[in-house]
Amino acid sequence: MTRIGITGHVRFGERTAELVEKALRETLKKWAGKEMTGVSCLAPGSDQIFAKVILELGGRIEVVLPARDYREVGIPARNLREFDRLMAAADSLRVADPGKSGPDTYLAASKEVIAGSDLLLAVWDGTPDRSPGGTGDAVAHAHSEGVRVEVVWPAGAVHD
């Protein structure tokens, strides 16, 4: 079984979302099928696109929520329907921190995603994080833990 984690930007436009989805599908198709498990926090943007593609390719998803209030605090109204759909399709769910959502819980969840993965895909343009617990921190942690990282940032993509 191949276990693939995700980290990545949460804010980008529709055109970039299309490019990211296509790039993730191309990257993930080599592991397509029941032996592929995606590990995700289901954040808007990269995480939700990743989980959707994993399911479309016949894989399973495991969800690691940063905190119990993550749906209410971390998911914008426009992303709730997809979040709920992906949660319903998940094979398992863990909560990284029983407290309230924030940078520390986001990093704790990323660390759990990484600990449960053979490979971390990073949908990332390489820019430094705006706040602690972001994509750059997750990539640095994966490197420090010896988890292979593959950056996915398609040509023409723009990060908001």
pLDDT tens-digit readout, 53-90: 999 999 999 999 999 999 999 999 999 999 999 999 99
**Beta strand residue intervals within 11-99, DSSP E:** 36-40, 60-67, 92-97
Tell me if 160 is assigned to some domain.
Answer: no
Tell me if 70 is assigned to some domain.
Answer: yes
pLDDT of residue 34: 65
- Dihedral Cα 31, 34, 40, 43, nearest 10 deg: 90
Look up the domain containing 146 and give its range. Answer: 2-151
d(CA 97, CA 48): 20
Q: Which of 29-43, 45-59, 72-86 has the lowest mean pLDDT?
A: 29-43
Tell me if 106 is assigned to some domain.
Answer: yes
d(CA 136, CA 124): 8
Residues 6+ apart with CB under 8 A from 152: 8, 20, 23, 24, 27, 121, 122, 123, 124
Tell me if 159 is assigned to some domain.
Answer: no
Residues 6+ apart with CB under 8 A from 43: 10, 74, 75
For the chain, the maximum distance between any two Cα atoms, rounded to a whole number of angstroms, is: 39
Can you give the pTM of this predicted structure? 0.95
Tell me if 138 is assigned to some domain.
Answer: yes
Number of separate domains in the chain: 1
CATH at 127: 3.40.50.450
Tell me if 130 is assigned to some domain.
Answer: yes
